[in-house]
Amino acid sequence: MRVGFDATLLRNGFFTGIEKYIINFLKTLNNTKIDFKLVVFIQNGFPELLKNELTSLDFIHLNSANRLVLDQVLIPLYAKKLNIDLIHFPAFAPSPFYRKKAIVTIHDATFWRYPDTISKGGKYYYRPLLSHSIGRINHFITVSNSSKSDLIEYLKIPQDAITVTYEALDLDFQELNSKYVENENKSGHEKYILSVGTLEPRKNIQTLISAFSILKKKYNIDHKLILTGRSGWKDKLEIPTDVLNNIIFTGYVSDKELLNLYKSASIYVFPSIYEGFGFPLLEAMSSGTPIVASLTSSLPEVGGNACEYVRDSHSPDEYAKIIFSVLSNKPQRESMVALGYKRVEEFKWDKCVTETIDIYKAIC
């Protein structure tokens, strides 16, 4: 059995959820004993430090950084040249020119549920490519039962053609966390509420900002609000003048800075209206930070009983009420932190990789 893994998405720069999935999958696979041939397709700009770390894996360097050339020409060409039986596509659908077996990981149904939030590339290339390749894909992987239900609904994929393999805490973040010195505020900020994620409509940051204004006016809290992540649609946010000086936009930060922000936050709020999985939940739980999140999509599936949930994710009043309730109840926060530590241990990359390998073998 000869298996290919498409890691051409990875380039030096910002890593969001799908990139983290690929990185952690490869790192775990690197330390997993396998009884088949596996090659990893990479492109120009693949992180050299990561490649040097993955000493057990074989790489095929595709000499291009052009998405169309990679997808439509080089991957099909090298799959035929190397006599590949199966390729796992963890981010993109296979080209019509690729004729071998294919497994595709679809992380969520954002393309279909929230098309206004996706890029032009997503709208005019990736979504049509995936939609037209459904019948040629041998099996699908997704990262939560919530996403599985959505993909069955929107893409009409048979239920037995999709397997859920849960993601886990980012390995680099986990290592930093294990070396963290407690009882020390390293964030450089006083009391604050934290939220992490690209500033885009699906993340529902506008509702959180409105809730923060209510928390200031009605509940008289003395916290600031820190919003961490790439700017995205930042300019479209409406910020009340009375809280303008109490909201901090950090932009994209390093893992070390992010850990410091989690550790020193009074509470973490995840107001997103749709997530395929939700890495920040695991990051906050592993950091000992109590969480308030939307009761929607995969968030309760991942957060379990370790979080407090807001039923109406578009209600600033409900968010403000629940956030204040948690901030005001120290025993509750301590209980949530303890439950969070236990909950995050239920998600393991070893399990994700083992289950994926089982799919490779079943398909081949």
Confidence class for position 114, pLDDT limits 50, 70, 90: confident
* β-bridge mates for residue 103, sequence order: 88, 139
Least confident of 16-20, 286-290, 342-346: 16-20
Q: What value does the mean pLDDT take over residues 262-278?
A: 96
176 and 71 share one domain: no
In degrees, rounded to 5, the angle at the alpha carbon of residue 236 between the alpha carbons of residues 232 and 241 is: 120
- The pLDDT of residue 59 is 97
Which residues form the domain of 122?
A: 2-168+348-363
303 and 357 share one domain: no
- The pLDDT of residue 233 is 65
- The pLDDT of residue 238 is 87
User: In the structure encoding, which two tokens stand for residue 191, read together?
Assistant: 């009391």
195 and 262 share one domain: yes
Neighbours of 344 (CB within 10 A): 23
Residue-wise pLDDT for 308-337, tens only, equals 999 999 999 999 999 999 999 999 999 999
- The pLDDT of residue 234 is 59
**How many domains are contained in the chain?**
2
More confident residue, 215 or 240: 215
Q: What value does the mean pLDDT take over residues 165-191?
A: 84
Distance CA 80, CA 124 (A): 27
The answer to whether 89 and 140 are in contact (CB under 8 A) is no
- The pLDDT of residue 187 is 60
Alpha carbons within 13 A on the beta-carbon side of 85? 11
211 and 314 share one domain: yes
Q: What is the CATH number of the domain that holds 17?
A: 3.40.50.2000
Residue 348 has pLDDT above 80, yes or no: yes
User: In the structure encoding, which two tokens stand for residue 103, read together?
Assistant: 């497994």
Q: β-strand 86-89 against 2-6: which pairing, if any?
A: parallel
Q: Residue 347: which of 304, 309, 307 has the closest Cα?
A: 304
Residue 192 has pLDDT above 80, yes or no: yes
335 and 352 share one domain: no
Q: What value does the mean pLDDT take over residues 33-44?
A: 95
Confidence class for position 183, pLDDT limits 50, 70, 90: low
Across the chain, mean pLDDT equals 92
More confident residue, 102 or 126: 102
3-state secondary structure the chain: CEEEEECCCCCCCCCCHHHHHHHHHHHHHHCCCCCCEEEEEEECCCCHHHHHHCCCCEEEEECCCCHHHHHHHHHHHHHHHCCCCEEEECCCCCCCCCCCEEEEECCCCHHHHCHHHCCHHHHHHHHHHHHHHHHHCCEEEECCHHHHHHHHHHHCCCHHHEEECCCCCCHHHHHHHHCCCCCCCCCCCCCEEEEECCCCHHHCHHHHHHHHHHHHHCCCCCCEEEEECCCCCHHHCCCCCCCHHHEEEEECCCHHHHHHHHHHCCEEEECCCCCCCCHHHHHHHHCCCCEEEECCCCHHHHHHHHEEEECCCCCHHHHHHHHHHHHCCHHHHHHHHHHHHHHHCCCCHHHHHHHHHHHHHHHC
Q: β-strand 139-142 against 101-105: which pairing, if any?
A: parallel
Residue for token digits 């990893």?
40
293 and 227 share one domain: yes
Exposure b/e, 202-219, CB count within 10 A at least 16 = b:
bbbbbbbbbbbbbbbeee
321 and 276 share one domain: yes
- The pLDDT of residue 249 is 93
Q: What value does the mean pLDDT take over residues 70-84?
A: 95
Least confident of 163-167, 239-243, 285-289, 336-340: 239-243
Q: What value does the mean pLDDT take over residues 84-88?
A: 97
201 and 127 share one domain: no
Least confident of 46-50, 84-88, 349-353: 46-50
Distance CA 200, CA 237 (A): 9
- The pLDDT of residue 79 is 96
Residue 235 has pLDDT above 70, yes or no: no
Confidence class for position 359, pLDDT limits 50, 70, 90: very high
Residue-wise pLDDT for 13-22, tens only, equals 777 789 999 9
Distance CA 298, CA 296 (A): 6
- The pLDDT of residue 1 is 93
336 and 227 share one domain: yes
The answer to whether 315 and 295 are in contact (CB under 8 A) is no
User: In the structure encoding, which two tokens stand for residue 243, read together?
Assistant: 């809280």
123 and 272 share one domain: no
Residue 162 has pLDDT above 70, yes or no: yes
- The pLDDT of residue 331 is 97
329 and 184 share one domain: yes
- The pLDDT of residue 170 is 96
CA-CA-CA-CA dihedral for 316, 322, 324, 326, to nearest 10: -150
Percent over 90 (pLDDT), the chain: 77
187 and 241 share one domain: yes
Residue 121 has pLDDT above 80, yes or no: no
Largest CA distance in the chain: 67
- The pLDDT of residue 295 is 97
Confidence class for position 184, pLDDT limits 50, 70, 90: low
